[in-house]
């Protein structure tokens, strides 16, 4: 079977249905601009501030769409997921809003700040060993006991459709966008955005921002170059939200709709974080700065010299400053 001719898992109507479904719960996030960053990039940059989304990241859109798409009967049995990051908090929050039970399995290396976020939405995390097998086994156990529905982090049509609502808003807010740069991990966000944006504006370019990490493992770039879903070792990157791998459904979207992949180093990600915090005055987590790093990369204009108005998704702002630099806050009190 030729993958490229396979039907895409989501269409524009699905994204529009997601937008209606989540409209009572999700924020329409603002678009920011910054003269300094535009000058540095040589472009006119427009930043979609998903850092202001509920839960502090875009993940709420997909989780909310998935959970509100459940039938009453399914929903009554609750939901379960595993996550070391923003998806777990997003599922907990969306379940709280629907008034159904949620279970969130977290690996033992999950930072306290992420566990606290899950707890703040009324869910006590279930801790398991830090392997994918242990995470899946813990979820299966919950499902066997309760019949809870599993909410996957990215490789599911309802999740992809939810994340795609970013593009509907972005193109309404900035109709002149010629390209959208999207950080990529499991590919849920870029798949949804690509489906919706290209349906509304066929000429728009969708560009993935992918950290190479310390082990140089850029799997999206490798898959695109190979023309197939290649398996690479897990990346090691400060972009802790970008350590997943493309799934079967998201790869289909990426293969067909993503125009280019800009790879970025760890140093470029940190420089982008610093610029965003010092010049735009907003907080981004490393994964959230990956798109900014790509916008500032010379690769972008070399390969797409025709671009002027470029959108960048600031996809998450859940930074753990104290975890990275212990004593950071108390240092402000000393002379």
Catalytic residues: 59, 84
CB-wise, 56 or 152, nearer to its own copies? Answer: 56
**Cβ-count burial of 187 within 10 angstroms (0-12 exposed, 13-18 middle, 19+ buried)?**
buried
Task: Select the residue interacting with its own copies from 277, 299, 304, 309 (CB under 8 A).
Answer: 277
Contact 96, 68 (CB under 8 A): no
**Cβ-count burial of 236 within 10 angstroms (0-12 exposed, 13-18 middle, 19+ buried)?**
middle
Residues 52-91 vs its own copies: string with x where CB under 8 A?
A: x---x-----------------------------------
Task: Select the residue interacting with its own copies from 2, 144, 231, 281 (CB under 8 A).
Answer: 281
Token digits for 110?
A: 């999950």
31 binds its own copies (CB under 8 A): no
Residues 297-326 vs its own copies: string with x where CB under 8 A?
A: --------------------x-x-x--xx-
282 binds its own copies (CB under 8 A): yes
**Cβ-count burial of 118 within 10 angstroms (0-12 exposed, 13-18 middle, 19+ buried)?**
buried
Contact 44, 38 (CB under 8 A): yes
Task: Select the residue interacting with its own copies from 260, 266, 299, 304 (CB under 8 A).
Answer: 266
Rounded CA separation 335/331 (Å) = 8
CB-wise, 51 or 151, nearer to its own copies? Answer: 51
Please state, in angstroms and as integers, the Cα–Cα distance from residue 302 to each residue in 42, 67, 278, 298, following that order.
Answer: 12, 42, 27, 6
Give the footprint of its own copies on this chain (CB under 8 A): 30, 51-52, 56, 214, 238, 266-267, 270-271, 273-274, 277-278, 281-283, 286, 317, 319, 321, 324-325, 328-333, 335
């Amino acid at each position: 079977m030729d993958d490229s001719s396979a039907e895409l898992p989501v269409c524009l109507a699905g994204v529009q249905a997601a937008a209606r479904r989540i409209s009572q719960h999700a924020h329409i996030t603002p678009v920011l601009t910054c003269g300094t960053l535009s000058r540095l990039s040589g472009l006119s940059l427009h930043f979609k501030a998903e850092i202001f989304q509920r839960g502090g990241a875009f993940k709420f859109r997909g989780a909310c769409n998935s959970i509100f798409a459940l039938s009453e009967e399914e929903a009554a049995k609750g939901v379960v997921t595993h996550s070391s990051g923003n998806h777990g908090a997003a599922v907990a929050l969306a379940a709280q809003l629907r008034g159904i039970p949620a279970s969130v399995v977290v690996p033992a290396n999950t930072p306290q700040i992420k566990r606290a976020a899950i707890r703040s939405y009324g869910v006590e995390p279930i801790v398991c060993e830090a392997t994918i097998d242990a995470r899946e086994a813990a979820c299966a156990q919950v499902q066997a006991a309760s019949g809870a529905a599993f909410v996957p982090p990215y490789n599911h049509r309802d999740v992809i459709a939810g994340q795609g609502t970013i593009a509907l808003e972005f193109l309404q807010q900035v109709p002149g966008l010629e390209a959208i740069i999207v950080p990529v991990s499991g590919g849920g966000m870029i798949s949804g955005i690509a489906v919706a944006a290209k349906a509304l504006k066929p000429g728009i370019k969708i560009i993935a921002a992918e950290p190479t990490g310390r082990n140089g493992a850029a799997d999206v770039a490798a898959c695109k170059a190979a023309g197939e879903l290649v398996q690479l070792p897990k990346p090691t990157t400060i972009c802790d939200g970008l350590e997943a791998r493309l799934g079967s459904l998201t790869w289909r979207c990426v293969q067909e709709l993503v125009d280019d992949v800009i790879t970025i180093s760890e140093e470029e990600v940190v420089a982008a974080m610093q610029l965003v915090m010092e010049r735009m005055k907003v907080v981004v987590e490393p994964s959230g700065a990956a798109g900014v790093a790509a916008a500032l990369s010379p690769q972008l204009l070399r390969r797409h010299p025709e671009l002027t108005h470029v959108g960048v998704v600031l996809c998450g702002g859940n930074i753990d400053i104290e975890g990275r630099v212990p004593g950071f806050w108390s240092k402000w009190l000393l002379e």
